[in-house]
Amino acid sequence: GVMHREDAIEDLTQWKTFALAGRTQKPILTIVEDEEIVKAIETNRDMALNLAVFLNYHRLDEVTLFDIYFTLCNFSYNGDIRMRWKMENPNKVKNIVSGQLQGLNEIYIPRLRKMQEEGLLTIDSDGTNQQGSETDSSLSHFEANTRIGFRIRDENIQTMFDRVPENLRWEMKPSVKQLSLRELQGDVEKNLAGIVDVTSIQMVLSGLYSTSPLKKGLPYLLDKFKKGRTK
């Protein structure tokens, strides 16, 4: 699809529609760089990792790197009408994480290390709890089963909650002490799923409108539905 530059920056930094934000949280190929767009993508990825960690924070030390990446990559599909109608491979998110592990590491390991330095979490695997430069050789130590531990304190929960995009904290009270962690997680996740739901419906309708609905659009949707059912 095509977006106006201003709309792209707004979506990347505010998650207004999550149309572009979700895509750029995963590894992408940039053809022409734009300084403001690059900065917005970095902000988007910071928020994505923060939210992925926040949504797993109740699990203490049971979480792996795969779990964090799965949660993050699932943002684009949780609430998507195409997933609810089984028009997509139900293993799609799992396949993305498995196939893009190295690319995800390059994006998010430096950010996880920063969160470790802030005292928000620990990274524990063979050699991965050591500090160092984010070179290819150091990143190669991070596997899908690398364990992530959390330091659950009110101040840590508040820090991460404050970093959640304002669009997902809509009508929520600013202090985390007024709700349990699980309630906070549920409300934030529901708000994001609502955004994805609306956007996915608009995309389906736009796709039908831009093609010949009877000759191309509906047969395409039916084919997607059949493929999703067979997975």
Q: In the chain, which stretches have pLDDT less than 50?
A: 127-137
- What three-state secondary structure class fits 118? coil
What are the tens digits of pLDDT across the range 99-121? 999 999 999 999 999 999 999 99
Cα–Cα distance for residue pair 22/14, rounded to 1 Å? 12
What pLDDT sits at residue 228? Answer: 53
Q: Beta partners for 123?
A: 148
Closest-CA residue to 100 (of 128, 121, 72): 72
User: Given this model, what pLDDT does residue 225 score?
Assistant: 53
Query: Can you point out the beta strands (E) in the chain?
Result: 63-64, 121-124, 147-150
Please enumerate in sequence order all residues whose Cβ is within 8 A of that of 146, keeping only pairs 6 or more positions apart, or say none. Answer: 64, 65, 123, 124, 125, 128
- Asked if the structure places residue 33 within a domain, the reply is no
pTM (2 d.p.): 0.84
Considering the domain boundaries, does residue 14 fall inside one? no
181 in a domain, yes or no?
Answer: yes
Q: Please write down the long-range contacts of 92-98, taking CB distance under 8 Å and 24 or more positions apart.
A: 94/70, 96/26, 97/66, 97/69, 97/70, 97/73, 97/144, 98/144
Question: Nearest 5 degrees, angle CA 21-CA 219-CA 24?
Answer: 10
The answer to whether residue 169 is domain-embedded is yes
31, part of any domain = no
Contact between residue 207 and residue 217 where contact means Cβ atoms under 8 Å apart = yes
The answer to whether position 57 is within a domain reads yes
Q: How many domains does the chain have?
A: 1
What residues make up the domain containing 124?
A: 53-230
User: Does the residue 205 lie in any domain?
Assistant: yes
Q: Which residue type, as a one-letter code, is found at position 185?
A: Q
Task: Please indicate, yes or no, if residue 133 is contained in any of the structural domains.
Answer: yes
